[in-house]
Structure 1
Amino acid sequence: MFFAVFLHVLAFAFLVVGRTLAPRNVPLLRRAVGDNSTSSGIASLALDKSSGSYYTVLKAGDSYFRVALDTGSSDLWLISSACTSSQCSKVPKYPLAYKSSTFQAVNNNQTEFSASYGDGTGVSGFVAREMVTVANITLKDQAVGVIDSSNVTLDSDVSGLLGLGFPRLSSMSESVTNSSPFFSQLAQQGKLEYPLFGLSLNRFDNGSLTLGAVDASVVRDVNQISWHPVVEFSPFGMESQESSYLQWVTPLAGFGTNGTTLSPNPSYPEITNNASLALLDVGLNGIYGPYSDVSRLFEAMDGARLVDSEGGLWAVPCDTKQNMTFTFGEQTIVLQPSDYFLGRTSGSPNLCISWPAAQSPSADGVDWHIGTPFLRTVYSVYSYGINNVEAPVIGFYPVTNSTTAQADEENLSSILTTVKFTPPNSLLATPTDTILPYTFNASVAAPTTGLVSTGLATSTYSPIFQAWTTVRSAIPTIAPSYAVFTDSSGAVVTSTPSIAAVTLGSPPGWTGPNGAGRSSPAPIVVTVAILFAALGQWIFCFIV
């Protein structure tokens, strides 16, 4: 979850949005089909190298903003001009004084909104409605958290958060009628070709978010996507006495190394039907599992040892060639050392801190929190499900095809960050997981692949994944436009098109309070040749 929800805050790192972002052009493309009542869209993602989070650009009213993506939460919020804290002063802000013609007050701006994060930070403000556009797909009356107080560090001109979770996880949905999250609204109103979104992440500063379709420039064959069920959660407190979908959580079948697959130890086996649950979270720069699982994984790796028992950190020899694997259903995803390394320790340069880190499981029954180190190795697809007809599913399409480690020591040396940390000279005992009382009402069954009557996409969609009889040829695809030109050397290159630069946080021509805005980087052209040349490198996202 964004800003390291559920994470231990390490003594030598802060997982926050930082400054060092490469200039990016963020094209917003759309393909309309049929009677133009449904569409799909694709938007570029940029990587914040200091935090490992990914952002895109959206339009709220007449202003553009950078927002970080998060599949571990659901609400959309933006820093507003009413926020005067030092953290807010650094970013473009939604200009309340502009009085956008598409802004709609909710309860005279008296409906409170707040969000808090595992590192002790949070935001607060009020709920309003505004016209919001992402990937050139627009909702006119989208509920937005307008932030007037924040101690969250938001640098790099990132002004907010776009949650992509289910409505049940939204605090706005609880307090305001007809205020489902952005993607939920698209699915519930039938605005997309199909109620799914896809994420392409990589080790550099670009990627894609697709709405309503999968990115055909990444997924060459939709038949190669493996699909996995999403788990329901029982009700909590005063919720209705029915289970429903809450988070993008799926069972983890195994993990391992050296060709050996180990079975996870579920923390709540009687409740989760003996399954270990994993949250897929694009807002998390890391992989976290319970001590009981993580310790067994590293015990199977040559030379690995626990170096920080409180932070749950293990180190392995930096010259290791051992891969790490995670298995979902029958699909095994391979992580190379370049995928799971955090950085080389300053006190022992031959040892590298590695993911996963260990922490006790959360009380919602989720044992594993799997973020960008894993998600960069796959194209991930999140199919939202259809009311009464189809359950949500998660798809993985591997973007690396390797069963052996490819990164040699010389290559790793050029990309590893040095972590200011000295491993202890003695062996440390592995802590025991603390199992908290289960949060939800365990007396209500929460089946996997269960059908629910509300909260998913409108039943006007024809199901593709019904009863696991996947009509894969029906999965919509979309691709960015490309331009072919001859450069100054006479070489023919292919590139993504550039678009006009936008001013962040300020409507066109607006010069009122907080209206100066900030110009986004000028359009740039990224050639395929350059991208290919960069494939052998990785920028590690660890702050020292």
Structure 2
Amino acid sequence: MGESLNLKYTPFSPDHLARTYYVVLQAGQISFRAALDTGSADFWLTSTECTNSTCMSVPRYPLTYASPTFVSINNNETAFAVNYADGTGASGFVARETVEVANVTVANQAFGVVTSSNITLVSEVSGILGLGFSRQSEISARAASATPFFSTLAQQGILDYPIFGLSLTRNATGTFTLGAIDVSVVQNVSQVVWNEVVSFSPVGTQTNTSGYFYWAIRMSSFAVNGTQYTPQPTYPGPNDNSSIALLDVGTTGLYGPYQDVIRLYSSFPSSRLVDESGQWAVPCDSSAIISFSFGNGATFVLEPTDYIIGPAEGNPDLCLSWPKAAPPSTDGVDWLLGTPFLRTVYSIWSYGIDYQEPPMIGLYPYNNASAPVQPFSVVESSLSSESATVATTLPNFVLSTPTYTTPPYAFNTSVPAVYGEIVQSELATSTYSPLIGTLAVNATALPQVTGAYTLFVTNSNGAVVTSTYHITQPSVTLGVPPGWNSAASRSVPGVGLAISILITLAAGTWII
């Protein structure tokens, strides 16, 4: 089965650093918006037991409804808690429910029922749908046979192939595909650059665990206008002297270590550090091209409209810019590449196959590395149309670069995770035939969809049947069980979709 979901982009808002992509899904036949996140693995929703002000403003999972597909775990005594880098968090208990995303249904999916939270939820987003690996899951660690949503799809062989694809464009179109790639975006599959996901050693005395923790790959270089720099990893020993980059759709920015970010901005005339949090500013008329290279050296470029955040209110000639510098992280991840980077590529996330194929991330560039320099008029027009002025006053003196003591590495290097080793379990079922993790990459054989109107289904004889639909999905009401009426209900307008649902970009995000 291959599913394609329409994805829309909401224009830049004054609260431009608080944005995320979300999907409308069903839990127990009740519709909710859940933010997509590749930096975490768990699915959670706020519930009616959460009476914090941050919960009361969004649709909540109604525990009083007694959904016929709701399954209690340990009499709702199995605790669930998540905490994020910005100091916010949510807690509650673990339960099971039937979850449907477009035409893909998973019964008895474990999820977090949030009863307390200080996470600001906006645009009626009720929770997070994590797309990470099982090892990262708090729920999997607390409940038996409680794999994350996408892990379940891969391990049960529900999809045509254990992949999902993301097209995060800056305009009103885009796609999220399950089990296939969108060839209306990827017009030449042979140009997809494949990168093996990095494996991590166990933590402490942990044993019997998958080596795969994050959707992270090796970064070989970064550059500004062709001036190339080799990343300086915070922990060179455990990572084979290479820098690790985590790709995360749940992060709205770009972050790198001070030792790299300082060198990057040294290639920007008149750039300067403007905040002790690691924020840099560059001239708003900058025409510089930032590029990143991974694995085999393929280059992916960011133009000014990709990395410029917006002009400072107190100094409109200077614009805040990505990347932002960050202190050392004990997991050895030096670079965090969020939506400013992911909007420049079509990304394919392959979960890997037990015993046969490691997890991979495929990147298909939108930007042409040899294209002419983007003129300032394009940047100016983009900032003007998005009302992107940042309410901040820049310091009128030079800030010194913060210094940090590197903390101990979090993973147990006495039990190494060998680079290139194919993990033996916790990936997709071995009934899949590997297509991309071999010397003879056969990516053109990956299941494909075009836009939102094509459905691939494997019949009982093993043949792939393609069906094309033009069905308008009716409006759905958020947070209200079937047959219930609510004056406070929220409706999602119907759109011209087929076997698909609406994904959009909204205010409100959580930095993972």
TM-score scaled by length of structure 1:
0.84
Match of residue 478, structure 1, among 414, 434, 449: 449
Aligned to 1:27: none
Confirm whether residue 450 of structure 1 aligns to residue 450 of structure 2: no
Deviations 1:213-260 (A, max 9, x none): 111221112111100010111001342066610010101111111111
Contact 1:506 1:517 in 2 (8 A): no
Confirm whether residue 110 of structure 1 aligns to residue 77 of structure 2: yes
Q: 1:241 to 1:499 in 2, by over 3 A?
A: closer
Aligned to 1:411: 381
Match of residue 422, structure 1, among 371, 393, 402: 393
Deviations 1:256-285 (A, max 9, x none): 111111100011101100010000010000
Deviation of 1:155 after TM superposition, in Å, equals 1.4
Q: What CA distance in whole angstroms lies between the structure 2 residues aligned with 1:249 and 1:133?
A: 27
Match of residue 381, structure 1, among 336, 343, 348: 348
Sequence identity, in percent?
50
Confirm whether residue 303 of structure 1 aligns to residue 277 of structure 2: no
Confirm whether residue 520 of structure 1 aligns to residue 491 of structure 2: yes
Q: What CA distance in whole angstroms lies between the structure 2 residues aligned with 1:384 and 1:157?
A: 30
* Letter of the 1:408 counterpart: F
Aligned to 2:476: 502
Q: What CA distance in whole angstroms lies between the structure 1 residues aligned with 2:30 and 2:189?
A: 36
Deviations 1:406-464 (A, max 9, x none): 24234244245111222222222222343110001011111222111111001000001
* Letter of the 1:316 counterpart: V
Q: Helix, strand or coil for the counterpart of 1:97?
A: helix
Contact 1:258 1:301 in 2 (8 A): no
Q: Helix, strand or coil for the counterpart of 2:306?
A: helix
Match of residue 226, structure 1, among 173, 176, 193: 193
Q: What CA distance in whole angstroms lies between the structure 2 residues aligned with 1:321 and 1:196?
A: 36
Q: Helix, strand or coil for the counterpart of 1:44?
A: strand
Match of residue 469, structure 1, among 410, 434, 440: 440
Confirm whether residue 292 of structure 1 aligns to residue 266 of structure 2: no
Aligned to 2:102: 135
Contact 1:360 1:434 in 2 (8 A): no
Q: What CA distance in whole angstroms lies between the structure 2 residues aligned with 1:428 and 1:88?
A: 39
* Letter of the 1:405 counterpart: V
Aligned to 2:465: none
Confirm whether residue 334 of structure 1 aligns to residue 301 of structure 2: yes
Deviations 1:460-504 (A, max 9, x none): 000012333211221111123469xxxxxxxxxxx9864200011
Q: 1:283 to 1:413 in 2, by over 3 A?
A: closer
* Letter of the 2:474 counterpart: A
Contact 1:43 1:209 in 2 (8 A): yes
Q: What CA distance in whole angstroms lies between the structure 1 residues aligned with 2:184 and 2:86?
A: 37
Q: 1:473 to 1:412 in 2, by over 3 A?
A: closer
Gaps of 5+ in 1: 1-38, 484-494, 527-537
Q: 1:434 to 1:417 in 2, by over 3 A?
A: farther
Aligned to 1:323: 289
Confirm whether residue 437 of structure 1 aligns to residue 408 of structure 2: yes
Deviation of 1:522 after TM superposition, in Å, equals 2.5
Q: Helix, strand or coil for the counterpart of 2:174?
A: strand
Q: What CA distance in whole angstroms lies between the structure 2 residues aligned with 1:169 and 1:47?
A: 28
Question: How many aligned residue pairs are there?
Answer: 478
* Letter of the 1:411 counterpart: S
Q: 1:98 to 1:517 in 2, by over 3 A?
A: farther
Q: 1:325 to 1:98 in 2, by over 3 A?
A: same
* Letter of the 2:105 counterpart: T
Q: What CA distance in whole angstroms lies between the structure 1 residues aligned with 2:158 and 2:206?
A: 28
Q: Helix, strand or coil for the counterpart of 2:164?
A: strand
Gaps of 5+ in 2: 455-468, 498-504
Q: What CA distance in whole angstroms lies between the structure 2 residues aligned with 1:429 and 1:233?
A: 34
* Letter of the 2:59 counterpart: P
Aligned to 1:40: 2
Contact 1:76 1:160 in 2 (8 A): yes
Higher RCO (CA 8 Å, separation ≥ 6 residues) = 2
Contact 2:478 2:490 in 1 (8 A): yes
Contact 1:248 1:279 in 2 (8 A): yes
Q: Helix, strand or coil for the counterpart of 2:176?
A: strand
Q: Helix, strand or coil for the counterpart of 1:419?
A: coil
TM-score scaled by length of structure 2:
0.89
Q: What CA distance in whole angstroms lies between the structure 1 residues aligned with 2:101 and 2:392?
A: 41
Q: What CA distance in whole angstroms lies between the structure 2 residues aligned with 1:323 and 1:539?
A: 28
Q: 1:539 to 1:505 in 2, by over 3 A?
A: closer
Deviations 1:283-340 (A, max 9, x none): 00000001110000000122211111x1101111101111111111221111011000
Aligned to 1:91: 58
Q: Helix, strand or coil for the counterpart of 2:361?
A: strand
* Letter of the 1:130 counterpart: E
Q: What CA distance in whole angstroms lies between the structure 1 residues aligned with 2:344 and 2:191?
A: 15
Contact 1:46 1:56 in 2 (8 A): no
Q: What CA distance in whole angstroms lies between the structure 2 residues aligned with 1:388 and 1:324?
A: 38
The correspondence of residues 46-195 of structure 1 with structure 2, limited to 5 A, is 46-47=8-9, 49=12, 50=15, 51-195=18-162
Deviation of 1:208 after TM superposition, in Å, equals 1.9
Q: 1:470 to 1:98 in 2, by over 3 A?
A: same
Q: Helix, strand or coil for the counterpart of 2:53?
A: coil
Q: Please, what is the CA RMSD of the aligned residues?
A: 2.3
Contact 2:355 2:430 in 1 (8 A): yes
Aligned to 1:7: none
Deviation of 1:525 after TM superposition, in Å, equals 6.0
Contact 1:255 1:264 in 2 (8 A): yes
Q: 1:181 to 1:220 in 2, by over 3 A?
A: same
* Letter of the 1:472 counterpart: A
Q: Helix, strand or coil for the counterpart of 1:423?
A: coil
Contact 2:19 2:506 in 1 (8 A): no
Contact 2:22 2:506 in 1 (8 A): no
Match of residue 459, structure 1, among 424, 430, 442: 430
Q: 1:265 to 1:476 in 2, by over 3 A?
A: same
Deviation of 1:387 after TM superposition, in Å, equals 0.8
Contact 1:187 1:456 in 2 (8 A): yes
* Letter of the 1:473 counterpart: T
Q: Helix, strand or coil for the counterpart of 1:379?
A: strand
Aligned to 1:210: 177
